[in-house]
Amino acid sequence: MESIAYDLRQMQRTPLADEHVAALRAAGTERVYPKGAIVVRQGEPITCFTFVEEGEIEVVDAYTDERAVPSTLGPGQYVGEISFLSGGVSTLRMRAACDTRVIEVERQKMLTLMAQIPEMSDIIIGVFAARRRRQLDQGDSSLRLIGEEASADIRRIAMFASRNRVPYQSLPLGSAEARATAGSCGIDTDRPAVIFGKDHVVTDPTPHRIARLLGLNLDFSVDERVDVLIVGGGPAGVAAAVYAGAEGLRALVVEDIAVGGQAGTSSRIENYMGFPTGISGADLVWRGEVQAMKFGTRFSMPHRVTGLEVMEDGCFCATFDNGQSIRCAAVVVATGVQYRRLPIDRLEALEGKGVYYAATEIEARYCRDTEVVIIGGGNSAGQAAMYLSRVAKCVHVVVRGPSLAASMSDYLLSRLDADPRIAIHLNSAVTRLIGEDRLEGLEMTNRETGAVRHIPSSALFIMVGAAPNTEWLSGLVELDSNGFVRTGSTCGDADSPYATSQPGIFAVGDVRAGSVKRVASAVGEGSVVISKVWEHVRSTG
């Protein structure tokens, strides 16, 4: 762990070469900040790249105005974070620790400069990514959540932030730090809250409000048009985003929950080429997102497409759940699948209150030293069991069928069998949930013998079935009997295995009928489809 921390410290301070600094001077303007002047305010759009020539810039606590991080940025260093690429907002407050002279390069000019000088781009993106990782590891951000453990609404915000790799601090309700933070904002110290600096208390917090606050939710003008709209931010969608940007297409990715999709909830993927020790789904897809942003692809969330219309000129108009719309020459459908809800009484009422559909670091907090139940027999369920067994007293894997061999990779099955904290229950089903305001236990029934077992549990994970997200496409493209999108020869197009029955609409990844439900295949499909998208965009002018 110490070597990792050292590597991060080094990466955050990788210097630019002399020729890179010369390019900054030629493209930017010089500015002097007197001691105490605010250089960056949390919540404000990042409009420029700031390079320090003389002086010192420090990170400031947005609630106390005191220095928040021991180290500072001095001559040769630069201000910024990964949201610079997407045009997001700063999550930190920064000021001049002494009289400081800087070079400021307007954001669009800087992005052009980075595209022209890839060596400089690689250094800057590496530094920004390392800074975001440090922020996530240390909870270094102006966004603070009070009472996550006591409020389902606050937990929903924590899950949204965590899955979108937004750094935040979680403060237990009633703790000294929570009281001090609430007091600095002039609000009740004994109630859950979402705060972004002492001047911004978020009322009625929702993922949409937080996304807008952080610049994740883009606004679209009525006459805006992109070359390709990629619907879905899982592995297939992000791979398409990387290749679309690399080919010079104006691409927009919209996602209704979090970039990463269902794969983003996988705690450890061990069979993806190039990562022999494994990588989390969230890390894998986030790397792709940063790579796509480097090429100019934009991401916006949470956005759900509610309608898609074919225009007279052959282009498309997509309408979102917030009423906004955007025109595009082509559409890549990469909406993947979602776990099915099971017919268990009061299931919906307890979702987010002990019933979950993802096993990430957030959910693992609620599983410490308790019994956990996972319903499902696929790789996602197996990965979740291995991950949660590190913190739970016992993990029960409930499988409806008589075996796991046909649905789970052999390496995972062997590990589950060998882990003393994991119990596999075949031919079984969860038949009853216990608890009023939150899950307190459940009953599991053996489908062969009828025997009922009570399990005291505060965490139930449902990872079974696969329902495609294609309601918004009904009547526009051909779907199979299960709602998956027909492509290629199955819908009369022999030219591309990813083309749908509607010219200009393509489908990749798990949402496509007949696809292999694996991350690697989804990435491959998203990468390959762009060549046909490019041909279609070029032919439509």
Residues 188 and 176 in one domain: yes
pLDDT of residue 8: 39
Residues 326 and 472 in one domain: yes
Asked if the structure places residue 65 within a domain, the reply is yes
CATH code of the domain covering residue 157: 3.40.30.10
Condensed to tens digits (0 to 9), the pLDDT of residues 315-338 reads: 999 999 988 999 999 999 999 988
Residue 367 CA to residue 394 CA, distance in Å, equals: 10
- The better pLDDT of the pair 65, 526 is held by 526
Residues 445 and 489 in one domain: no
Residues 252 and 325 in one domain: yes
Residues 505 and 365 in one domain: no
Residue 19 CA to residue 25 CA, distance in Å, equals: 10
Residues 100 and 154 in one domain: no
Which of 59, 53, 175 lies closest to 102, judged by CA?
53
Q: Which two tokens stand for residue 229?
A: 């709209």
Residue 176 CA to residue 29 CA, distance in Å, equals: 44
Q: pLDDT-based confidence at 161, cuts 50/70/90?
A: very high
CB 453 within 8 Å of CB 373: no
Residues 194 and 242 in one domain: no
pLDDT of residue 1: 32
CATH code of the domain covering residue 440: 3.50.50.60
Asked if the structure places residue 10 within a domain, the reply is no
Domain end, chosen from 464, 496, 520, is at: 464
Residues 37 and 115 in one domain: yes
Q: pLDDT-based confidence at 503, cuts 50/70/90?
A: very high
Condensed to tens digits (0 to 9), the pLDDT of residues 340-381 reads: 889 999 999 999 889 999 888 888 988 988 999 999 998 889
Residues 133 and 152 in one domain: no
Tell me if residue 240 falls in helix, strand or coil.
helix
Identify each DSSP E strand in 182-250 by its residue range: 193-196, 201-202, 225-231
Asked if the structure places residue 189 within a domain, the reply is yes
Number of domains in the chain: 4
pLDDT of residue 6: 36
pTM of the model: 0.90
Is residue 10 over pLDDT 60?
no
Span 525-536, average pLDDT:
96
Residues 58 and 133 in one domain: yes
- Alpha helices (H) along 319-377: 361-364
Condensed to tens digits (0 to 9), the pLDDT of residues 209-260 reads: 999 999 898 888 777 899 999 999 999 999 999 999 999 999 999 999 889 8
Residues 127 and 176 in one domain: no
Asked if the structure places residue 6 within a domain, the reply is no
CB 304 within 8 Å of CB 256: yes
Q: pLDDT-based confidence at 12, cuts 50/70/90?
A: low
Q: Is 485 left (phi over 0), alpha (psi -120 to 50) or beta?
A: beta
Domain end, chosen from 85, 109, 137, is at: 137
Torsion angle, alpha carbons of 7, 11, 15, 21, to 10: 170
Supply the range of the domain harboring residue 281: 225-338+467-540
Tell me if residue 356 falls in helix, strand or coil.
strand
Residue 177 CA to residue 117 CA, distance in Å, equals: 45
Q: pLDDT-based confidence at 4, cuts 50/70/90?
A: very low
CB 77 within 8 Å of CB 130: no
Span 15-19, average pLDDT:
93
Condensed to tens digits (0 to 9), the pLDDT of residues 390-423 reads: 999 999 999 999 998 888 989 899 999 999 999 9
pLDDT of residue 13: 67
Asked if the structure places residue 1 within a domain, the reply is no
Q: Provide the mean pLDDT of the chain.
A: 91
What separation in angstroms does the CA of 327 have from each of 161, 366, 416, 465? 29, 43, 48, 34
Residues 6+ apart with CB under 8 A from 486: 477, 478, 479, 480, 500, 501, 513
Residue 42 sits at the vertex; the CA angle it makes with 38 and 48, to the nearest 5 degrees, is 70
Is residue 494 over pLDDT 80?
no
Is residue 207 over pLDDT 50?
yes
Is residue 49 over pLDDT 90?
yes
Residues 231 and 287 in one domain: yes
